[in-house]
Amino acid sequence: MIEVVLLGTGSPLPDPQRAGPATLVRAGGRSFLVDAGRGVVMRLAAAGSGPNQLDAVLLTHLHSDHVTDVGDLVTTRWITTFAPSPLVVHGPPGAAGLVDGVLASLSADVRYRTTHHADLEGPPPVEVHEIGPGPVLGADEGADQGADGVVIRAGATDHRPVEPTLAYRIEHGGHAVVVAGDTVPCATLDELCAGADALVITAIRKDVLEAVPLPRIQDILDYHSSVEEAAQTAARAGVGTLVLTHYVPALAPGAEDEWRERAAVHFDGDVVLGDDLTRVEIG
């Protein structure tokens, strides 16, 4: 079984009910966090997890809404782990610079804590892997020989001018989930999603946003998938369940059916969307 928890379904726009983009995937006793938006550590706690239980953080891209709480992950793992255990971060080129900057911003805190706690050594250990499309975990060893049978591969997405950007395919026990992040439809995403049980993808309502006469809103239309485009991607790739997240505008109470109906025009599988901590079980 693969378990997916939408930890944060928000966007860059502050929302008291929705944390920033972050998705937890648990499989084979392993835990993987895709993106680390605003409030991620609180939502991990609500999901019965925490930074010290993560096997890896997988960053789709370095837009601030997807990485803004990396510092909280770093610090909280460090101070709640009693044997040295690095936070493992996989992300596109630029991820190492991001982590270096986060560690630099924490230097005073690291000094206070290492001075005060005799058993704590600094700086907080973080193991960063800057990656491109290809195997991330277990894939070069074969599914049965991977990390407790978990295989992770990355594929390129298209969120230009933000580049490079990645989606992640997480497989376990004959099932597969793709977490895509922000992207427009593209062939490499279709390829990564082929035959997956579920696709978790950012979706915006272009029909609503097109009517907002603000250049900064109009700018976001050309590098995100609409609900319809997300549904078309899922249909092309033969995905079983489409999970929409990162709602812009925020999903209003009672609006789920309208979003679902828009997707259903193009995709006849299950469509899941909802509040933070919405949980999907695959397999």
Site of interaction with Zn ion (CB under 5 A): 63, 65, 182
Q: Which is nearer to Zn ion, 8 or 51 (CB)?
A: 8
- Cβ neighbors of 132 (< 8 A, separation 6 or more) are 92, 93, 154, 156, 164, 166
- Cβ neighbors of 165 (< 8 A, separation 6 or more) are 60, 61, 92, 156, 157, 158, 159, 181, 182, 183
Q: Which is nearer to Zn ion, 162 or 264 (CB)?
A: 162
From the list 65, 69, 197, 276, the catalytic residue is: 65
Specify the DSSP class assigned to residue 183.
Answer: -
Q: Which is nearer to Zn ion, 161 or 195 (CB)?
A: 161
**For residues 18 and 2, is the Cβ–Cβ distance under 8 A?**
no
CA dist., res. 90 & res. 94, Å (int): 11
Q: Which of 29, 1, 23 is nearest to 10 (CA)?
A: 23
Query: Could you tell me the smallest distance in angstroms from the CB atom of residue 224 to Zn ion?
Result: 8
Phi, psi of 200 (to 5 degrees): -100, 120
Query: Could you tell me the smallest distance in angstroms from the CB atom of residue 246 to Zn ion?
Result: 6
**For residues 26 and 53, is the Cβ–Cβ distance under 8 A?**
no
Q: Which of 149, 154, 199 is nearest to 174 (CA)?
A: 149
β-bridge partners, 23:
6, 34
Q: Which is nearer to Zn ion, 119 or 219 (CB)?
A: 219
CA dist., res. 133 & res. 110, Å (int): 34
Q: Which of 57, 69, 95, 11 is nearest to 179 (CA)?
A: 57
**For residues 91 and 131, is the Cβ–Cβ distance under 8 A?**
yes
Q: Which is nearer to Zn ion, 55 or 65 (CB)?
A: 65
Specify the DSSP class assigned to residue 173.
Answer: T
To the query of whether residue 65 is one of the catalytic residues in this protein, the response is: yes
Q: Point out the residues that are catalytic.
A: 65
